[in-house]
């Protein structure tokens, strides 16, 4: 029974040696427990924060203990009346091939409603992040311009499509020409910008947004965000969802240059964590499922195979190797 432990706290970009493969005994269940076989593992940028020991909104992982993340698992044995063999569940689970659980905080997921992996993406944490961040903080109005960074990723690709459903002009920022093409052809963005090839990002955003930027959904922070901020409209809304460009920094970050956009433009800038909306998750999932069924929403996944591939899949997030949700299939 393979497991992956945190071997060392990454300094800068995470590397394979920060992770340790450990062979544990296959666990046995007692009354009230279920035995789970891991099927899909979600790797997410926020896990980088949990690998450091800095104080945050979630507990840091402990050294020499298993790492955990959102997973889909199959119940292969049950001594718990709420679960039967063959059920599939979603929840925060350890990076282990097999583990036991009392079933607390696990959600049953239905393979007939959506492919199992979708419960880690569009119908899971990242879809809900896109939905609540954009609608609750961004409050996009019909005809407004919405800019999304990290646009071809799990959260960003859903944000852009929801903004289109709500009648906005949508501009995405991503790191390769292939992603830029996909944003327009697959996800219906009006414009997309490759931040790795464009020389003047502020001008590129101004050109792509002739009426300025009303809502900015920020997944990346740093220079990219500086160039969006200078284009923000009066009473614009900036949703600070993530700052992946800074997650591997080894020095303290410099703050945003607020005088240009927050004060002069009376703009709102608000951070959030998706857990703030936990009580509304069923409502969010229902809406996302409906849009999926009505073909108003689509999604991409980058699925890599095999338990041993988990650390590299996580590391690859920082190289932009994924399109849409990065998932490991076991
Ligand atoms: P993604 O699927 O977007 O994967 C990460 C992407 O980030 C990569 O594909 C890459 O795309 C881009 N990226 C990597 N390094 C850089 C860099 N230095 N500068 C700019 N872009 C970079 O991940 P998620 O959709 O899961 O997460 C997106 C963001 O949302 C993250 O910042 C994450 O922490 C945050 N988040 C926040 C939540 C909350 O509750 N607030 C919940 C979930 C996620 P490219 O090729 O375009 O560079």
Q: What is the pLDDT of residues 90-119, one digit of tens each?
A: 999 999 999 999 999 999 999 999 999 999
Q: Do residues 125 and 42 lie in contact, with contact meaning Cβ atoms separated by under 8 Å?
A: yes
Distance CA 158, CA 130 (A): 6
Q: How far out from the chain centre does Cα 274 lie?
A: 10
Distance CA 130, CA 283 (A): 14
The pLDDT-based confidence of 162 (bands split at 50, 70, 90) is very high
Query: What are the structural domain ranges in the chain?
Result: 2-121+300-329, 125-275
Q: How far is the CA of 84 from the centre of ligand 1 (A)?
A: 36
Tokens 């696990």 identify what position? Answer: 106
Tokens 């599939």 identify what position? Answer: 88
CA 242 to ligand 1: nearest atom:
32
Query: Which residues form the pocket of ligand 1, taking CB atoms under 6 Å from any ligand atom?
Result: 44-46, 125-126, 129, 150, 152-156, 174-176, 179, 219-220, 224, 241-245, 272-274, 317-318, 320, 322, 326
Mean pLDDT of 204-220: 98
Q: Which of 107, 103, 110 is nearest to 86 (CA)?
A: 110
Return the residue whose CA atom lies nearest to atom 14 of ligand 1: 318
Phi-psi region of 306 (alpha: psi -120 to 50; beta: other; left: phi over 0): left
Residue 251: both structure tokens together: 């020095």
Cα dihedral 53, 59, 64, 69 sign: negative
Give the model's pLDDT for residue 189: 98
Q: How far is the CA of 242 from the centre of ligand 1 (A)?
A: 7
Tell me yes or no: is domain 2-121+300-329 CATH 3.90.180.10. yes
Least confident of 13-22, 139-148, 243-252: 243-252
Q: How far is the CA of 156 from the centre of ligand 1 (A)?
A: 8
Question: Is the pLDDT assigned to residue 256 strictly greater than 80?
Answer: no
ipTM above 0.85, yes or no: yes
Instruction: Classify 125-275 by CATH class.
Output: alpha beta
* Between 255 and 186, the higher pLDDT residue: 186
Return the residue whose CA atom lies nearest to atom 3 of ligand 1: 153
CA 326 to ligand 1: nearest atom:
2
Angle between helices 281-293 and 154-165 (to 10 degrees): 70
- One-character DSSP codes across 17-43: GGEEEEEPPPP---TT-EEEEEEEEE-
Mean pLDDT of 132-146: 98
Q: Which of 48, 137, 155, 225 to mutate to test the pocket of ligand 1 (most atoms within 8 A of CB)?
A: 155
Mean pLDDT of 247-253: 86
Distance CA 89, CA 99 (A): 13
Give the model's pLDDT for residue 258: 73
Mean pLDDT across the chain? 96
Question: Is the pLDDT assigned to residue 259 strictly greater than 80?
Answer: no
Q: Do residues 86 and 116 lie in contact, with contact meaning Cβ atoms separated by under 8 Å?
A: no
Give the model's pLDDT for residue 260: 75
Q: Which of 253, 163, 265, 255 is nearest to 217 (CA)?
A: 163
């Amino acid at each position: 029974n393979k497991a992956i432990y945190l071997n060392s706290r990454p300094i800068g970009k995470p590397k394979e040696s920060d992770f340790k493969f450990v062979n544990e005994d296959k666990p046995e269940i007692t009354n009230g427990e279920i035995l789970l076989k891991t099927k899909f593992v979600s790797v997410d940028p926020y896990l980088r924060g949990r690998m450091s020991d800095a104080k945050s909104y979630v507990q840091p992982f402990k050294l020499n203990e298993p790492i955990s993340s959102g997973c889909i698992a199959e119940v292969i044995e049950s001594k718990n009346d709420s679960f039967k063999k063959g059920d599939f569940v979603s929840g925060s689970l350890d990076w282990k091939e097999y583990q036991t659980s009392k079933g607390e905080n696990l959600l049953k997921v239905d393979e007939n409603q959506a492919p199992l992996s979708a419960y880690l993406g569009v119908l899971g944490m990242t879809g809900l992040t896109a939905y609540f961040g954009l609608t609750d903080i961004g409050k996009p109005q019909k005809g407004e311009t919405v800019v999304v960074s990290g646009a071809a990723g799990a959260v960003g690709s859903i944000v852009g499509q929801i903004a289109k459903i709500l009648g906005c002009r949508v501009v995405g920022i991503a790191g390769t020409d292939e992603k830029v093409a996909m944003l327009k052809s697959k996800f219906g963005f009006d414009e997309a910008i490759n931040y790795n090839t464009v020389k003047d990002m502020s001008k590129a955003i101004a050109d792509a947004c002739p009426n300025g930027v009303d809502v900015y959904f920020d997944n990346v922070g740093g220079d990219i965000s500086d160039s969006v901020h200078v284009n923000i409209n009066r009473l614009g809304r900036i949703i600070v969802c993530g700052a992946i460009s800074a997650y591997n920094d080894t020095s303290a970050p410099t703050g945003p240059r607020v005088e240009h956009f927050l004060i002069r433009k009376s703009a709102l800038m608000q951070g959030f964590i998706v857990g703030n909306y936990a009580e509304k998750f069923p409502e969010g999932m229902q809406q996302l499922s409906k849009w999926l069924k009505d073909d108003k929403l689509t999604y991409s996944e980058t699925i890599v195979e095999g338990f041993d591939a988990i650390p590299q899949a996580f590391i690859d997030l920082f190289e932009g190797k994924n399109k849409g949700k990065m998932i490991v299939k076991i």
